[in-house]
Chain A
């Protein structure tokens, strides 16, 4: 039983490290942006021509936020 648990935990940890890595805010940010995109598309709340600009702008914010977070961490350490 303990071995099975270790294998399951190891499996999920491996995929977490592989996809999320050391910047969880990037994976979380992209997920939030795309979920918002799906919501807006399903409800047709925004013209399709504006979606590329909105998603593009938001993912730039995700990258900027993650980089600034690391900058603040280094400055305070």
Chain B
């Protein structure tokens, strides 16, 4: 499968700094997104540290596959999933240690949503309330579970989804990188199919843009970077209350099949001009 991707990060309309951070590592098909928190500029420090640690660990591991896995990786996971989960544990360690060593950074933290595609296998590792979605056959499915208080209350039936959207406790996270020395990382594997679209985003998008709107935008705009821009614009039109980061990954068929010449150029396929891709 051919993979095209693009991402956008934006300060939003209210904040004066951008504590979100993302990286697309094209040779690895690795996509990493983090939303930082903490006073002064420390949210930015935390999210950058989170993203850099994960990217560096995955790149290093490609060169040295024998590098050890840490914490509770499950034996059934693929090498990529184990690696990604390990990388997120390391990011937690780095942020926690840095905050211990620098008292001014005390209380800083970050979310982490990382996706790694190897062949048809998608590995996801996740902590916090940034999200990964999969659009397949027109249906949008949230792959990650928010580690926020309101999301947990909805799962336990204490709040309805509508009440959760109105709650002023939305920013309370149950898990974040850097908050504690040890952390539980959610990791999952899925099989990807041609035409699947993967979306990673920070809560700056999902607080103000609904899932049907996200699905509609991904279907209407097939160029990943442009679709990401449209979603950011939409969030800003709704007040842009927080930093907004969107990463979009589209999976396309390698070839269009044995009868593709019959169709010639009649098929609208903006991804085929070779100029698209992440930054």
Say whether A associates with B. Answer: no
Chain B positions near chain A (C-beta within 8 angstroms):
none
Chain A positions near chain B (C-beta within 8 angstroms):
none
